[in-house]
Amino acid sequence: MQVLLINPPIYDFTAYDYWLRPYGMLRVAGRIQHACSLTFFNFLLSRQRDAWGRGRFHEQVIPKPAAFGDIPRFFRRFGRPRDEFRDLLRQRRFDVALIQTTMTYWYPGVQEVIEDLRELAPRAKIVLGGIYASLCPDHALSLGAHLVVEKDNLKPLWNLLGTPRSAPPYRDVSMGTVAAMKLTEGCPFRCTYCSVPLLQPQFATRPVEECLQEARRLAASGVQNVAFYDDSLLFRPEQVLVPFLEGVIREHLPLSFHTPNALNVRFLTPELASLMVQAGFRSFFLGFESVFPEWLRKTGDKSSAEEFAAAVAALRQAGAESAVAYVIIGHPDAGEEAIESSMRFAHEHGARVYLSEFAPIPGTIDGQRCGAWADMNEPLAHNKTAFTIRRMGADRLNRFKSLCRTLNSSLSANR
């Protein structure tokens, strides 16, 4: 069976390759590669990558959808040219096309791919999986897919492709020196703005040796930078993270690790920070969100400002190169005073600030409260840039972005 794996282009105001890899689809592909012939077309090949494997995508300015007519930003298509994909479909025959989906509001890229498959590969069965497919299954099905895989219900997919085997994720040479990885699944917390409890309600750890085998294969294949996609990497670290790190150190695996998914600062002890740095962790992205305890308690009680300060101090003592604090902006309950106070608090404790624009997610507690600013039945309305501008106004948002640049520049100058 000829199976085409597709990581679709992005239609958005902004996009950048912070170690973006279609990890869920690659894990599925690994389990069927014994029985299928796989071809991977990755629209999201970044160019001019930095030392950590990050870079810009090919992009072009395109007309904004009518839904964004009030947003004073350029709209773009990010990814390889459409004609390259169409040329592949003209040259090859495929039985099944698996499409990875992520942000709900990125569905126009998925729609583009389906249109080309319908036209140039009409016999191929089209399968969607991932976040958008799970959170908006009816909308996803309306794009023209034959099968929408929701959450981790893979039985319909195995019925189509055959019996799976236990195997490492599929890897294609086009992905270069960057890979993604997970040691755990799910998250024990129930933050009101997060989709993880909807997608993976139970927290679970993977076998340590299985994770080490995956890391060994990545290192042997030339991978240099590995991004952890775990939603709660530091929870119960003794079960998998600590023995995994000890194995990486013991075997001298030449890998640099990164944490684009926010780390829970409550669990970042000095001992764990030291072990992570020794094992090769280069970037630490911390889930700070806000300095206001009332807001933190209301949205999930995941951490506190004091725990954040202690975590940054532990990282600094361990010799970490980079600590970045995610600060939420645009949340319905986050006032301007809280945002600025949070930014300055993170800066004062030595962390760079990253403004995380709030995106309302269907099915979440906070998403259900956002009807005043967004039509939650239209995934484009979930767009973080559009929502935050409508919630705050472009001028206010630009003021906070300017403050963010100033704080981060002064932090760099003092080092």
**Amino acid at residue number 319:** G
pLDDT given for residue 173 in this prediction: 84
> Side chain identity at 196, as an amino acid letter?
V
Each residue of 299-331: b (16+ CB within 10 Å) or e?
A: bbebbebebbbbbbbbbeebebeebbbbbbbbb
Q: Quick one: residue 255, left, alpha or beta (phi over 0 = left, psi -120 to 50 = alpha)?
A: beta
CATH superfamily of 177-413: Aldolase class I (3.20.20.70)
The neighbour count for residue 375, using CB atoms within 10 Å, is: 12
Tell me what pLDDT residue 414 has.
57
* Exposed/middle/buried for residue 361 (C-beta within 10 Å: 0-12, 13-18, 19+): buried
pLDDT of residue 233: 97
pLDDT of amino acid 297: 86
Tell me which residue has tokens 């993270």. Answer: 241
E strand residue ranges, 54-132: 59-62, 75-78, 96-101, 125-130
Question: What is the separation of C-alpha 162 from the centre of its chain, rounded to a whole number of angstroms?
Answer: 29
27: buried, middle or exposed (CB in 10 Å: 19+, 13-18, 0-12)?
Answer: middle
A 10 A CB-CB count for 332 gives 15
Q: How far apart are the first and last CA of the chain?
A: 56
Q: Look at residue 411 in the predicted model and tell me its pLDDT.
A: 85
Per-residue pLDDT of the chain (415 residues; tens, 9 = 90+): 999 999 999 999 999 999 999 999 999 999 999 999 999 999 998 888 899 999 999 999 999 999 999 999 999 999 999 999 999 999 999 999 999 999 999 999 999 999 999 999 999 999 999 999 999 999 999 999 999 999 999 999 999 999 999 999 999 888 889 999 999 999 999 999 999 999 998 999 999 999 999 999 999 999 999 999 999 999 999 999 999 999 999 999 999 999 999 999 999 999 999 999 999 999 999 998 888 888 888 898 888 999 999 999 999 999 998 899 999 999 988 888 889 999 999 999 999 999 999 999 999 999 998 988 889 999 999 999 999 999 999 999 999 999 999 999 988 755 5
Query: CATH 3.20.20.70 region(s) of the chain?
Result: 177-413
pTM: predicted TM-score of the whole model, two decimal places: 0.95
pLDDT at residue 413 in the model: 59
| Residue written as token pair 């991004």 | 227
Kindly state the tokens that stand for 288.
């700070």
Enter the DSSP assignment of 36: S
Cα–Cα distance for residue pair 178/18, rounded to 1 Å: 10
Q: Indicate the pairing of strand 352-357 with strand 184-185.
A: unpaired
pLDDT of residue 296: 86
Residues of the chain with CATH 3.40.50.280: 2-161
CATH number of 2-161: 3.40.50.280
Three-class secondary structure of residue 266 per DSSP = helix
Task: Give residue-wise pLDDT tens across range 37-89.
Answer: 999 999 998 888 899 999 999 999 999 999 999 999 999 999 999 999 999 99
Measured between alpha carbons, how far is 201 from 3 in angstroms, rounded to an integer?
30
**Cα–Cα distance for residue pair 307/291, rounded to 1 Å:** 11
